[in-house]
Amino acid sequence: MGSSRKHSWVVVLKAKRELAESFFIEPSTGRKYTTDDSPYHHIDSIFNHKNYWINMDWKRPISDVNLDFEFETNGEWEYVMLKNEKKGEDDDNIEEEEEDEDEEGGGNGEEEVLDMPPPWSPKLFVDKEKFLELCPKGEKTTFYKKCKVEFFAECKQVDGLVKRLTIYEDFKRLIVREVRSFFQCRRD
């Protein structure tokens, strides 16, 4: 019995981003690969914020896979969650068509599809002021071998100090060799 490895990566499609060609991004390294020269063997499935598609011919090499999965009609990809929308249709027209089908007695025997389940986590909210501070409680200190870096939230210090770098002579950080201060939002 052979072993099976599963791995996830990001695909950026040329049609959506006005790019010359589609490419893959390896999340663990940030490296970019073309679709013809990637270390990946097969694509089992693809998903985005709207739907989940399953590759019906998953043994096909990646260089031969049609990545236009949203609008393909050859049966290479099968959608799972929502009806596949055609290009140019907007959500209002789709909702009106569905209401008409329901009133007429329930469609023409079309297959039922699943709706995307709601997220299990609450919506993330970050206060704008806290986000702009970039450090908790207005200041943050990071220690290195012979160095200490202090970050301060912008416009929170009276003199406009945003970063202070202290360089030490020794590893115990007792003898100060140099202090560099960085300022923003000053009047002078």
Question: For residues 169 and 75, which has the higher predicted lDDT (pLDDT)?
Answer: 169
The answer to whether residue 159 sits within a structural domain is: yes
Question: For residues 113 and 174, which has the higher predicted lDDT (pLDDT)?
Answer: 174
Mean pLDDT of 153-182: 89
The answer to whether residue 97 sits within a structural domain is: no
The answer to whether residue 178 sits within a structural domain is: yes
Question: For residues 105 and 177, which has the higher predicted lDDT (pLDDT)?
Answer: 177
pLDDT for 169: 94
Give the tens place of pLDDT for each residue, 26-53: 888 888 988 888 888 888 888 887 788 8
Q: How far is CA 153 from CA 120, 124, 137, in A?
A: 33, 22, 8
Number of domains into which the chain is organized: 1
The answer to whether residue 2 sits within a structural domain is: no
The answer to whether residue 156 sits within a structural domain is: yes
The residue among 164, 166, 168 whose CA lies nearest residue 151 is 164
The answer to whether residue 151 sits within a structural domain is: yes
**What band does 111 get if pLDDT is binned at 50, 70 and 90?**
low
Mean pLDDT of 75-92: 62
Q: What is the chain's alpha carbon radius of gyration, rounded to the nearest angstrom?
A: 27
Q: Is pLDDT above 50 for 90?
A: no
The answer to whether residue 70 sits within a structural domain is: no
The answer to whether residue 144 sits within a structural domain is: yes
Domain that holds residue 176: 128-183
